[in-house]
Protein backbone atom coordinates (compact mmCIF):
# COMPACT_ATOMS: atom_id res chain seq x y z
CA UNK A 1 0.00 0.00 0.00
CA UNK A 2 1.29 3.45 -0.88
CA UNK A 3 1.94 5.64 2.15
CA UNK A 4 -0.33 8.39 0.79
CA UNK A 5 -3.23 5.91 0.58
CA UNK A 6 -2.51 4.87 4.14
CA UNK A 7 -2.82 8.45 5.34
CA UNK A 8 -5.97 9.02 3.32
CA UNK A 9 -7.50 6.02 5.07
CA UNK A 10 -6.57 7.46 8.46
CA UNK A 11 -8.21 10.79 7.63
CA UNK A 12 -11.31 9.10 6.25
CA UNK A 13 -11.79 7.58 9.71
CA UNK A 14 -11.54 10.96 11.50
CA UNK A 15 -14.92 12.72 11.75
CA UNK A 16 -15.03 16.10 10.06
CA UNK A 17 -15.36 18.99 12.52
CA UNK A 18 -13.91 16.97 15.41
CA UNK A 19 -13.03 19.18 18.36
CA UNK A 20 -9.32 20.11 18.39
CA UNK A 21 -7.05 18.43 20.96
CA UNK A 22 -6.57 20.05 24.34
CA UNK A 23 -2.93 20.84 23.60
CA UNK A 24 -3.73 22.85 20.46
CA UNK A 25 -3.75 26.18 22.30
CA UNK A 26 -0.33 25.48 23.80
CA UNK A 27 1.05 24.68 20.36
CA UNK A 28 -0.59 27.79 18.90
CA UNK A 29 1.07 30.08 21.43
CA UNK A 30 4.40 28.36 20.94
CA UNK A 31 4.57 28.53 17.15
CA UNK A 32 3.28 32.12 16.99
CA UNK A 33 5.92 33.24 19.48
CA UNK A 34 8.65 31.47 17.49
CA UNK A 35 7.40 32.92 14.20
CA UNK A 36 7.37 36.45 15.62
CA UNK A 37 10.97 35.97 16.74
CA UNK A 38 12.09 34.71 13.32
CA UNK A 39 14.23 37.05 11.26
CA UNK A 40 13.29 37.05 7.57
CA UNK A 41 16.18 37.18 5.16
CA UNK A 42 14.63 39.83 2.92
CA UNK A 43 13.22 42.08 5.66
CA UNK A 44 9.57 41.26 4.91
CA UNK A 45 7.21 38.91 6.73
CA UNK A 46 8.83 35.57 7.59
CA UNK A 47 8.05 32.78 5.13
CA UNK A 48 6.65 29.81 7.05
CA UNK A 49 6.08 26.21 5.97
CA UNK A 50 3.54 24.25 8.04
CA UNK A 51 4.50 20.59 7.55
CA UNK A 52 1.74 18.06 8.18
CA UNK A 53 -0.79 20.86 8.51
CA UNK A 54 -3.83 18.56 8.60
CA UNK A 55 -7.02 20.64 8.63
CA UNK A 56 -4.81 23.75 8.73
CA UNK A 57 -5.98 25.21 12.03
CA UNK A 58 -2.51 26.56 12.83
CA UNK A 59 -1.82 27.43 9.19
CA UNK A 60 -4.82 29.76 9.45
CA UNK A 61 -3.57 31.22 12.74
CA UNK A 62 -0.17 31.95 11.19
CA UNK A 63 -1.72 33.54 8.11
CA UNK A 64 -4.05 35.64 10.28
CA UNK A 65 -1.04 36.88 12.23
CA UNK A 66 0.47 38.25 9.01
CA UNK A 67 2.96 35.55 8.09
CA UNK A 68 3.46 34.29 4.54
CA UNK A 69 2.57 30.64 5.16
CA UNK A 70 2.12 27.51 3.07
CA UNK A 71 0.54 24.39 4.56
CA UNK A 72 1.45 20.94 3.25
CA UNK A 73 0.26 17.42 3.98
CA UNK A 74 0.66 13.97 2.43
CA UNK A 75 -3.13 13.42 2.40
CA UNK A 76 -5.69 15.30 0.34
CA UNK A 77 -8.69 14.80 2.64
CA UNK A 78 -7.60 17.16 5.46
CA UNK A 79 -6.69 19.80 2.87
CA UNK A 80 -10.13 19.47 1.28
CA UNK A 81 -11.68 20.19 4.67
CA UNK A 82 -9.30 23.10 5.25
CA UNK A 83 -10.01 24.68 1.85
CA UNK A 84 -13.74 24.56 2.53
CA UNK A 85 -13.24 26.36 5.85
CA UNK A 86 -10.44 28.74 4.80
CA UNK A 87 -10.45 29.15 0.99
CA UNK A 88 -7.72 31.77 1.01
CA UNK A 89 -4.98 29.54 2.40
CA UNK A 90 -2.13 28.20 0.25
CA UNK A 91 -2.41 24.44 0.86
CA UNK A 92 -0.57 21.75 -1.11
CA UNK A 93 -0.12 17.99 -1.17
CA UNK A 94 3.48 16.77 -0.96
CA UNK A 95 4.78 13.25 -1.62
CA UNK A 96 5.19 10.99 1.38
CA UNK A 97 8.59 10.04 -0.05
CA UNK A 98 10.92 12.16 -2.14
CA UNK A 99 11.58 15.83 -2.63
CA UNK A 100 8.96 18.50 -2.00
CA UNK A 101 8.18 21.05 -4.73
CA UNK A 102 10.04 23.92 -3.04
CA UNK A 103 13.45 25.26 -3.86
CA UNK A 104 16.41 25.14 -1.51
CA UNK A 105 16.37 27.72 1.31
CA UNK A 106 12.76 28.74 0.58
CA UNK A 107 11.56 29.34 4.15
CA UNK A 108 12.59 31.31 7.23
CA UNK A 109 10.73 28.96 9.57
CA UNK A 110 9.42 25.40 9.31
CA UNK A 111 6.74 24.26 11.74
CA UNK A 112 6.04 20.53 12.23
CA UNK A 113 3.32 20.15 14.85
CA UNK A 114 2.60 16.56 15.92
CA UNK A 115 4.28 15.18 12.80
CA UNK A 116 7.56 13.46 13.62
CA UNK A 117 5.90 10.69 15.64
CA UNK A 118 4.03 9.56 12.49
CA UNK A 119 7.08 9.32 10.19
CA UNK A 120 8.94 6.08 9.54
CA UNK A 121 11.85 7.62 7.59
CA UNK A 122 12.95 10.18 10.15
CA UNK A 123 16.21 11.06 8.43
CA UNK A 124 14.50 11.75 5.10
CA UNK A 125 11.97 14.07 6.74
CA UNK A 126 14.57 16.16 8.54
CA UNK A 127 16.82 16.20 5.47
CA UNK A 128 13.99 17.70 3.42
CA UNK A 129 13.13 20.20 6.16
CA UNK A 130 16.77 21.26 6.30
CA UNK A 131 16.90 21.62 2.51
CA UNK A 132 13.94 24.01 2.27
CA UNK A 133 14.95 25.96 5.38
CA UNK A 134 17.37 28.81 4.78
CA UNK A 135 20.74 28.87 6.49
CA UNK A 136 20.14 30.18 10.00
CA UNK A 137 16.39 29.60 9.66
CA UNK A 138 14.29 28.14 12.46
CA UNK A 139 12.78 24.68 12.84
CA UNK A 140 9.92 24.50 15.37
CA UNK A 141 8.16 21.27 16.27
CA UNK A 142 6.02 19.56 18.85
CA UNK A 143 5.59 15.86 19.62
CA UNK A 144 4.30 13.79 22.54
CA UNK A 145 6.85 13.43 25.36
CA UNK A 146 8.09 10.02 26.42
CA UNK A 147 10.31 10.88 29.35
CA UNK A 148 10.66 8.67 32.39
CA UNK A 149 8.10 10.85 34.16
CA UNK A 150 5.65 10.43 31.28
CA UNK A 151 6.09 6.66 31.36
CA UNK A 152 5.63 6.64 35.14
CA UNK A 153 2.39 8.59 34.77
CA UNK A 154 1.30 6.06 32.17
CA UNK A 155 2.13 3.17 34.52
CA UNK A 156 0.06 4.77 37.29
CA UNK A 157 -2.91 5.35 35.00
CA UNK A 158 -6.18 3.84 36.24
CA UNK A 159 -6.68 2.26 32.82
CA UNK A 160 -6.68 -1.51 32.80
CA UNK A 161 -3.73 -1.88 30.44
CA UNK A 162 -2.38 1.62 29.68
CA UNK A 163 0.83 0.50 27.95
CA UNK A 164 -0.96 -1.76 25.47
CA UNK A 165 -3.36 1.07 24.65
CA UNK A 166 -0.67 3.75 24.37
CA UNK A 167 1.72 1.65 22.28
CA UNK A 168 -0.98 -0.06 20.23
CA UNK A 169 0.75 -1.44 17.10
CA UNK A 170 -2.27 -0.35 15.05
CA UNK A 171 -1.72 3.27 16.03
CA UNK A 172 -0.31 5.74 13.51
CA UNK A 173 2.35 6.76 16.06
CA UNK A 174 5.52 4.95 15.02
CA UNK A 175 8.24 7.01 16.78
CA UNK A 176 8.49 7.94 20.45
CA UNK A 177 10.74 10.79 21.59
CA UNK A 178 12.20 11.92 24.87
CA UNK A 179 13.69 15.39 25.27
CA UNK A 180 17.16 13.83 25.27
CA UNK A 181 16.66 11.73 22.13
CA UNK A 182 15.08 14.60 20.19
CA UNK A 183 17.80 17.03 21.25
CA UNK A 184 20.51 14.58 20.20
CA UNK A 185 18.84 13.85 16.85
CA UNK A 186 18.50 17.52 15.89
CA UNK A 187 22.13 18.19 16.79
CA UNK A 188 23.34 15.29 14.67
CA UNK A 189 21.28 16.39 11.66
CA UNK A 190 22.75 19.85 11.20
CA UNK A 191 20.77 22.00 13.63
CA UNK A 192 22.18 24.21 16.34
CA UNK A 193 20.88 26.24 19.30
CA UNK A 194 18.60 23.29 20.00
CA UNK A 195 16.05 23.95 22.74
CA UNK A 196 13.67 21.18 23.83
CA UNK A 197 11.16 21.75 26.62
CA UNK A 198 8.60 19.48 28.25
CA UNK A 199 5.24 21.16 28.82
CA UNK A 200 1.81 20.17 30.08
CA UNK A 201 0.61 17.32 32.22
CA UNK A 202 -1.63 14.97 30.34
CA UNK A 203 -0.66 14.79 27.60
CA UNK A 204 2.89 16.06 28.07
CA UNK A 205 4.45 17.68 25.02
CA UNK A 206 7.94 18.25 23.75
CA UNK A 207 8.22 21.76 22.30
CA UNK A 208 11.44 22.16 20.33
CA UNK A 209 13.17 24.92 18.41
CA UNK A 210 16.48 24.85 16.55
CA UNK A 211 18.33 26.77 13.87
CA UNK A 212 19.65 25.30 10.67
CA UNK A 213 23.41 25.51 11.01
CA UNK A 214 24.88 28.22 8.80
CA UNK A 215 27.20 27.47 5.92
CA UNK A 216 26.34 23.76 5.77
CA UNK A 217 25.31 21.78 2.73
68 vs 199, more confident: 68
| Of 5-9, 125-129, 177-181, the least confident | 5-9
As a whole number, mean pLDDT of residues 59-79 equals 96
Q: What local confidence, expressed as pLDDT, does residue 13 receive?
A: 83
Q: What local confidence, expressed as pLDDT, does residue 1 receive?
A: 34
Distance CA 217, CA 208 (A): 22
Give the closest residue to 69 by CA, choosing from 89, 39, 40. 89
Give the chain's mean pLDDT: 86
Q: Are 86 and 66 in contact (CB under 8 A)?
A: no
Residues in CB range of 48: below 8 A, 6 or more apart: 35, 38, 62, 67, 68, 69, 70, 107, 108, 109, 110, 111
200 vs 118, more confident: 118
Percent of the chain surpassing pLDDT 90? 61
Q: What local confidence, expressed as pLDDT, does residue 4 receive?
A: 77
Q: What local confidence, expressed as pLDDT, does residue 17 receive?
A: 75
Q: What local confidence, expressed as pLDDT, does residue 151 receive?
A: 57
**pLDDT of 169 higher than 80:** no
Give the closest residue to 19 by CA, choosing from 47, 45, 57. 57
As a whole number, mean pLDDT of residues 171-188 equals 85
Distance CA 39, CA 136 (A): 9
Residues in CB range of 184: below 8 A, 6 or more apart: none
As a whole number, mean pLDDT of residues 183-198 equals 95
- Residue pLDDT, tens place only, 33-64: 999 998 787 778 899 999 999 999 999 999 99
Phi-psi category of 49—alpha, beta or left, where left has phi over 0 and alpha has psi -120 to 50?
Answer: beta
Percent of the chain surpassing pLDDT 70? 82
128 vs 39, more confident: 128
pTM listed for this prediction: 0.86
Q: Are 4 and 95 in contact (CB under 8 A)?
A: yes
Q: What local confidence, expressed as pLDDT, does residue 149 receive?
A: 59
Q: Are 12 and 77 in contact (CB under 8 A)?
A: yes
All structural domains of the chain, each given as residue ranges with its CATH number in brackets, are: 3-14+23-212 (3.40.50.150)
Residues in CB range of 124: below 8 A, 6 or more apart: 97
**Confidence bin at 124 (pLDDT 50/70/90):** very high
**Confidence bin at 16 (pLDDT 50/70/90):** confident
Q: What local confidence, expressed as pLDDT, does residue 77 receive?
A: 95
Q: Phi and psi of 110, rounded to 5°? A: -115, 130
Give the closest residue to 92 by CA, choosing from 45, 56, 40. 56
Amino acid sequence: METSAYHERIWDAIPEGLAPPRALERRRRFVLAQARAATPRDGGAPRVLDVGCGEARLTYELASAGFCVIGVDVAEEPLRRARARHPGLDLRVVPAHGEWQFGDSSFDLVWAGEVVEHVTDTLALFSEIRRVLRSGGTLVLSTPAHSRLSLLALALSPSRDPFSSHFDPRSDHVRFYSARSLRGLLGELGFEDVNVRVRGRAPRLLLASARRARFTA
